Amino acid sequence: MRPFGVEEELLIVDAETLAPAPIAEEALRRSKSGSGSGTGVDVMTDHELTAEFKQEQIEVVCPPQATLDDQISAIREGRSLAAAAVGAVGGRLLAIPIIPGYAASTLSPGERYDAISEELGFTTLEHLTCGFHVHVEVESTDEGVGVLDRIRLWLPTLLALSANSPFWQGVDTDYSSYRYQLLSRLPATGPTDVFGSRDDYEDHCRQLLGSGVPLDAGMLYFDARLSARYQTVEVRVADISMTAERAAVIACLVRALVETAARDRHYGVEIAPVRTNLLRMWTWQASRDGVEADLVDPTTLSPAPARAVVGRLLDKLRPVLEETGERDHVEDVVTDILTTGSGARAQRRVHDDSGDLSDVIRHALDLTLR
Domains, in order of start, for the chain? 4-369 (3.30.590.20)
Residue from 66, 109, 306 nearest 74 by CA:
66
Instruction: Fill in the DSSP letter of residue 101.
Output: S
CA–CA separation, 210 and 132 (whole Å): 28
> How sure is the predictor about 42, in pLDDT bands with cuts at 50, 70 and 90?
very low
Q: Is the pLDDT of residue 195 over 70?
A: yes
Q: In this predicted model, what pLDDT tens digit does every residue of 281-337 receive, in sequence order? A: 999 999 999 999 999 999 999 999 999 999 999 999 999 999 999 999 999 999 999
- Rounded (10°) angle between helices 327-340 and 244-266: 120
CA–CA separation, 34 and 60 (whole Å): 12
Q: What is the value of pTM for the model shown?
A: 0.95
> How sure is the predictor about 365, in pLDDT bands with cuts at 50, 70 and 90?
very high
> How sure is the predictor about 41, in pLDDT bands with cuts at 50, 70 and 90?
very low
Averaged confidence pLDDT in the chain: 95
Q: What is the mean pLDDT of residues 134-138?
A: 98
Contact predicate 272/178, CB 8 Å = no
